[in-house]
Amino acid sequence: MDVQKLFPPVFWWHEARFNFPEVRGALIMDDPHTTSGAPRAAKVTANESGMTRRIAHLDMDAFFASVELLRYPELRGQPVVVGGGRSAIPETLPDGTRRFKRLRDYAGRGAVTTSTYEARAFGVFSAMGMMKAAQLAPDAILLPTDFDSYRHYSRLFKAAVVTFTTQIENRGIDEIYIDVTDLPGEPAEIGQRMKDAVRDATGLTCSICITPNKLLAKIGSELDKPDGLTILTMDDLPRRIWPLAARKVNGIGPKANEKLAALGIHTVGDIATADVAFLQANFGRTYAAWLAWLAQGKDERPVVVTSTPKSMSRETTFERDLHPKQDRATLSSKFTDLVQARRRRFAAQGLCGTPGGNQAALRRFLHGDARSDRAGRNRRCSGNSPRRHGVPEADHAEPVAACLLGVRASALSVRGEGEHFSEPVQVELPFDDA
């Protein structure tokens, strides 16, 4: 079995909203409350044959950091942050020992890729700015990222799971959904066998939750990390799910969480006890319906074995600000590298973009201001296969320095499929107008 075909290279894209039946008229027809106003758990979801579904979510524990600990076992038990560049490569001393960089030595505007659980105890988490992380944990070990290794171990753990079933949905480099409904054995036994297989194949631990649906499986895989095995049924909602903070649910972002908190809704249980009409008045019919469903643990989404990503993006953050004119050659070279990397990913997955579906953006910092004016200063170009990127004029203002360059392709499709496929068209943006 070709594991690379089953699990092609992974890209970042937004997960679709949870599906739920269209609710027409008042939501009272599917009110998640009993007549006394107390929340009640939803009915157990079943598949077409009537058998109760068993959906697992497998999430590798601190994946990137754990891969690095395989390489540097002497760092086990220490706070380690992954996210440095080449300057963070450890130095090998004459006696064979290594000298590691400390987070306090970092200077730049990069972000934390991941951190060990010991570093997380200091408040250092993925996507946090490295400079902020250095303030929280200055003595943490700093390591460079090595995505080739991460992809290698990603293929290894997924290949181990394929030996049980091919009913697997690839959700990222370190997580998958698995439909284990038809596998023999009790959920705990199935989960433990998968965990053992992953450890044998990679030397790494993972956390697995098996539940009747993807919503609960995703939430549950975080409950007993690291190296957790969690089994949840609908009867466990009041005890294990409703006490959780609302923001723990995938789909409730920072803005929605802030609005919920302002309304006095802080936990999943608070959502379950909230009046549906009240949710409708504050969030609209669609989102209110989704909130009501999630509070009941409802989710009928299937495990999607094959899918085409809707968009792909790559970006790079500069160690120093680059000027549109003075650093034109550097910007052009970096842009070319990004587009060529994206093109290789396209070829690996047999994908293509559509005319007008490609964008390039420079994110700029205004003079004397550390804030990024994304709305006014992002510059985009359209076309199907841009090879060079010129920096457009800055609204007749003085050119300002750029801190980040990115490319994004959207409206993707499988090459050769569909009636509207067209060959790439080369376009360029002018450099000389900056």
Give me the active site residues, please. 175
Q: Tell which residue, 106, 155, 161, has the closest CA to residue 131.
A: 106
Q: CB count, 10 Å around CB of 218? A: 23
Per the CB < 8 A criterion, the answer to whether 68 and 113 are in contact is no
Return the DSSP state at 297: T
Q: DSSP labels for 411-429?
A: S-EETT-SS----------
| Helix, strand, coil share of the chain (percent; to 5) | 35, 20, 45
| Residue 363 one-letter amino acid | R
Per the CB < 8 A criterion, the answer to whether 354 and 394 are in contact is no
Mode of pairing for the β-strands spanning 229-231 and 206-211: parallel
d(CA 242, CA 430): 55
- Those residues whose C-beta lies under 8 Å from the C-beta of residue 430, and which sit 6 or more positions away, are 390, 392
Q: H helices then E strands: how many in the chain?
A: 13, 16
Per the CB < 8 A criterion, the answer to whether 392 and 433 are in contact is yes
Q: How far, rounded to the nearest angstrom, does the alpha carbon of residue 299 sit from its chain's CA centroid?
A: 20
Q: Which helix (H) or strand (E) holds 70?
A: helix 63-71
Q: Tell which residue, 41, 61, 53, 59, has the closest CA to residue 303.
A: 53
